[in-house]
Amino acid sequence: MIKFLLDREEPSSEQIRQRMDFDSIYGGVKYQKWIMNPWIYVLGGVFTALIWF
Partner 1 sequence: MAVNLTYHQSAFRLDEEMKLVERAKEHPRYFAPLYERYHEAIFRYVFKRVDETESAYDITSCVFIKAMGSIQKYENRGVPFSSWLFRIAKSELYQSFRDKKAQRTVSIDSVTLKQVMDDFTDDSSEENRAKLLVALGKLKEAQLQLIEMRFFEKRSFREIGEIVGLSENNAKVKTFRALLKLKELFNKKE
Residues that bind partner 1 (CB under 8 A): 1-8, 10-11, 13, 16-17, 19-20, 22, 24-26, 28-30, 32-33
CA dist 22 and 16 (Å) reads 11
- Closest to partner 1 by CB, 40 or 46: 40
The span from the CA of 41 to the CA of 5, in Å, is: 47
> Which DSSP helix (H) or strand (E) runs through 37?
none
Nearer to partner 1, 3 or 50 (CB): 3
For residue 42, the minimal CB distance to partner 1 (Å) is 22
